[in-house]
């Protein structure tokens, strides 16, 4: 290949560039620039790599201009400051000329002026041709990858159609026409098999820019795939009249979906089910027979949890917002239905609502409450030196500990039926005396264990905690500061090849990881190892309404809903036949 050949076949060069651009779906200018870079690289291999050589192809005529440039610089020119790991630039005789030297031949020379010299045609050798080919291929490949990323990055959460290109170790490579997607084994529906050439519908849940090119991540197991299928089958969902507020799936087996209607005249559950289940069955068929429970979303989280556990009936719901847990009481005969096969029903309900759900039966709840009642009654009888009737009255009114009795306002006790102000004062006095005796006993035990007074000054350390620390051999602030989180909470380690649990010093306190870390950090502040300003600051509390676009595990906070909607629509192929 020679430059004269390129000139003679300039129209053919443009046609090749145009064909490559169309085939790779990239801009023709990018292909032209890649060819120019390849010609420059070949020219530098011939004339020297230090030369400032530039190539320019006219996009209309195909004419090639190959030139060498020399730039005038100051006599005291110094290399620019570069990073430490780079070699400093040096004066380049082939591409630069100092001002004093340039003025010898050009009186009008000035700093920054460029002298341009046309280079003659030359023959491309085998090595230069191969080098040029690699440059063009690399540039075109990079442009193609960038085009794919820009095209698909805004299509996340969309359903796309493609053709199976190949299957590798359970991962399916899908040809999307203008790109190539990957559906990993864990993102496919179990027992679903694909062969090369099969048509496939999938959900784009992520597009990543990586060194080997954009990775278009596909899924048929994602909850968002089911939600988008309903948007295609149900016009009300597509138009936004009905919203899918949350979704959770056990791919290929069962799914739950919470829906909300923005129009009070439209039943969201019925609209999604369709006439005789026609709409939901179209989605079920695409999901390989996956059973779908469609339930109304509710702004009341307790009511929403009850709906999510359908078809099981719920007797009582007790919510712990701090821990994000909820205890659900169901009739004894409903336990297996509420839990579901292999815990499927409660697991999906937990994913749908975002709460950790614990299920117990009514008999278990009753037995536990009776046991707690008896324990608290015995505690008050012993601590307050009162008879069983008074102790039971205190428990019935909601008092759980001696501290509750000692520190409440006196009127809360005096208003109990049969009590008066004098009785309330006497009971509180006995409660305070008991707590003082208990504190004195614990303090004496702490001193016997050798725990220093300074340990009590660490925020979070009570007398009971100090006693537990002393029993674990932690006697000074420095001892506490040296501990690791696992040494406080307990952890696991391998002994003789087996993983065994090692109890922590404060195992009985049931500390969270965050509380244990903070206790150790406070001890280090007290010991003078770190400054109080180094402690992690609590994040400001705020409320935020959001709904994740991909319906990922149904983590969302929602706004309003009708409370009179049907509790559940549980649709399957067997139901339709019935």
Output the CA torsion 216→220→223→229 (10° steps).
100
The last residue of one of the domains, among 219, 252, 267, is: 219
Interacting residues of 28 by C-beta distance below 8 A, sequence separation 6+: 17, 18, 21, 59
Q: What pLDDT score does 497 carry?
A: 72
Output phi, psi for 255, to 5 deg: -145, 155
Residues 342, 241: one domain?
Answer: yes
Residue 461 and residue 513 in one domain? yes
What burial letters (b/e) apply to 482-498, b meaning 16+ CB within 10 Å?
Answer: ebebebbbbeeeeeeee
When pLDDT is cut at 50, 70 and 90, the band that residue 545 belongs to is: very low
What b/e readout covers 186-211, taking b as 16+ CB neighbours within 10 angstroms?
Answer: ebbbeeeebeeeeebbbbbbebeeee
pLDDT reported for residue 80: 65
Residues in CB range of 242: below 8 A, 6 or more apart: 234, 236, 259, 260, 261, 262, 266, 268, 271, 272
pLDDT band at 6 (very low <50, low <70, confident <90, very high): very low
Residue pLDDT, tens place only, 414-466: 888 888 888 889 999 999 999 999 999 999 999 999 999 999 999 989 999 99
pLDDT band of residue 258 (cuts 50, 70, 90) is: very high
Distant-in-sequence, close-in-space partners of 149: CB < 8 Å, separation ≥ 6: 207, 209, 214
Domain with 166 in it: what CATH number? 2.40.50.140
Q: Which of 219, 242, 258 corresponds to the end of one domain?
A: 219
Top pLDDT among 122 and 206 is at 206
Give me the number of domains the chain comprises: 4
**Local confidence band at 555 (pLDDT 50, 70, 90 cut-offs):** very low
Output the CA–CA distances (angstroms, integers) from residue 442 to 193, 432, 445, in the order listed. 67, 15, 5
Mean pLDDT of the chain: 81
Calpha distance 553→255 (Å, rounded):
11
Please report the pLDDT score of residue 568 as a whole number.
Answer: 40
Higher pLDDT, 115 or 478: 478
The answer to the question of residue 408 being in a domain is no
Residue 361 in any domain: the answer is no
Ramachandran quadrant class, 497 (left: phi over 0; alpha: psi -120 to 50; beta: rest): left
| 100 lies in the same domain as 37 | yes
Contact 280, 245 (CB under 8 A): no
pLDDT tens digits, 315-370: 889 888 877 889 999 999 989 999 988 889 999 999 999 999 999 999 998 999 99
pLDDT: which is higher, 212 or 266? 266
HEC states along 538-571?
CCCCCCCCEECCCCHHHCEECCCCCCCCCCCEEE
- Render pLDDT for 49-78 as a digit per residue (tens, 0 to 9): 788 888 887 777 767 778 888 888 887 777
> 86: pLDDT confidence band, cut at 50, 70 and 90?
low
- pLDDT (mean) for 111-117: 84
Q: Which domain, by its residues, includes 509? A: 449-547
Note the pLDDT of residue 217. Answer: 92
Q: Are residues 333 and 198 in the same domain?
A: no
Distance CA 302, CA 316 (A): 9
CB 95 within 8 A of CB 69: yes
Separation CA 37–CA 15 (nearest Å): 18
Same domain, 261 and 318: yes
From 195, 219, 243, the end of a domain falls on 219
Contacts of 554 (CB under 8 A, 6+ apart): 223, 246, 247, 248, 258, 351, 352, 353, 354
SS3 of the chain: helix, strand, coil, percent, to 5: 45, 20, 35
Instruction: Examine the domain organization and report whether 272 and 172 are in the same domain.
Output: no
**Is 113 inside a domain boundary?**
yes
- Are residues 346 and 309 part of one domain? yes
* pLDDT surpassing 60 at residue 264: yes
pLDDT of residue 572: 42
Q: What is the CATH number of the domain that holds 232?
A: 3.30.300.20
**Residue 419 within any structural domain of the chain:** no
Q: Are residues 7 and 141 in the same domain?
A: yes
Which string of DSSP letters, residue by residue, matches 344-403? HHHHHHHHHHTSEEEEEEHHHHHHHHHHHHHHHHHHHHHHHT--HHHHHHHHHTT--SHH
């Amino acid at each position: 290949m020679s430059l004269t050949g390129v000139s003679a076949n300039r129209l053919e060069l443009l046609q090749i560039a145009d064909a490559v651009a169309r085939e790779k779906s990239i801009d023709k200018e990018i292909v032209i620039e890649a060819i120019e870079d390849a010609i420059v690289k070949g020219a530098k291999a011939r004339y020297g790599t230090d030369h400032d050589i530039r190539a320019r192809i006219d996009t209309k005529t195909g004419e090639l201009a190959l030139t060498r440039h020399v730039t005038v610089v100051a006599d005291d020119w110094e290399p620019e400051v570069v990073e430490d790991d780079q070699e400093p630039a040096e004066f380049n005789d082939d591409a630069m000329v100092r001002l004093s030297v340039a003025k010898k031949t050009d009186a009008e020379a000035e700093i920054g002026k460029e002298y341009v010299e046309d280079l003659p045609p030359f023959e491309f050798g085998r090595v230069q041709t191969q080098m040029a080919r690699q440059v063009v291929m690399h540039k075109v490949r990079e442009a193609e990858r960038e085009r794919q990323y820009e095209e698909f990055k805004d299509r996340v959460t969309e359903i796309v159609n493609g053709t199976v290109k190949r299957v590798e170790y359970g991962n399916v490579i899908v040809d999307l026409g203008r790109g190539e997607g990957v559906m990993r084994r864990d993102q496919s529906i179990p027992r679903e098999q694909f062969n090369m050439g099969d048509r496939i519908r999938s959900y784009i849940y992520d597009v990543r820019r990586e060194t080997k090119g954009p990775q278009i991540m596909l899924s048929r197991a994602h909850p968002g795939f089911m939600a988008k299928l309903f948007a295609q089958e149900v016009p009300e969902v597509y138009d936004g009249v009905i919203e899918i507020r949350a979704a959770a799936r056990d791919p290929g087996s069962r799914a739950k979906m919470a829906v909300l209607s923005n129009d009070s005249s439209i039943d969201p559950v019925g609209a999604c089910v369709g006439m005789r289940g026609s709409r939901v069955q179209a989605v079920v068929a695409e999901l390989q027979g996956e059973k779908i429970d469609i339930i109304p979303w509710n702004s009341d989280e307790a009511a929403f949890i009850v709906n999510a556990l359908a078809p099981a009936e719920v007797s009582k719901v007790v919510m712990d917002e701090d821990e994000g847990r909820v205890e659900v009481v169901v009739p004894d005969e409903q336990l297996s239905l509420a839990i579901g096969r292999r815990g499927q029903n409660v697991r999906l309900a937990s994913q749908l609502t975002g709460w950790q759900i614990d299920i117990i039966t009514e008999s278990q709840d009753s037995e536990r409450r009776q046991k707690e009642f008896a324990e608290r009654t015995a505690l008050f009888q012993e601590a307050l030196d009162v008879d069983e009737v008074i102790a039971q009255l205190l428990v019935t009114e909601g008092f759980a500990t001696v501290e509750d009795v000692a520190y409440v306002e006196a009127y809360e006790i005096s208003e109990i039926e049969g009590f008066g102000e004098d009785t309330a004062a006497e009971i509180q006095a006995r409660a305070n005396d008991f707590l003082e005796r208990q504190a004195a006993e614990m303090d004496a035990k702490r001193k016997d264990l050798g725990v220093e007074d300074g340990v009590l000054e660490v925020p979070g350390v009570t007398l009971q905690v100090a006693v537990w620390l002393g029993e674990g051999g932690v006697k000074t602030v420095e001892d506490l500061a040296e501990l690791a989180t696992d040494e406080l909470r307990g952890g696991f380690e391998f002994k003789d090849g087996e993983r065994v649990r090692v109890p922590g010093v404060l195992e009985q306190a049931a500390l969270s990881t965050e509380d244990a870390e903070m206790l150790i950090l406070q001890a280090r502040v007290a010991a003078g190892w770190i400054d109080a300003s180094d402690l992690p600051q609590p994040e400001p509390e705020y409320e935020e309404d959001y709904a994740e676009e991909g319906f990922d595990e149904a983590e969302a906070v929602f706004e309003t809903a009708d409370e009179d909607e049907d509790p559940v629509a549980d649709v399957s192929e067997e139901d339709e036949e019935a």
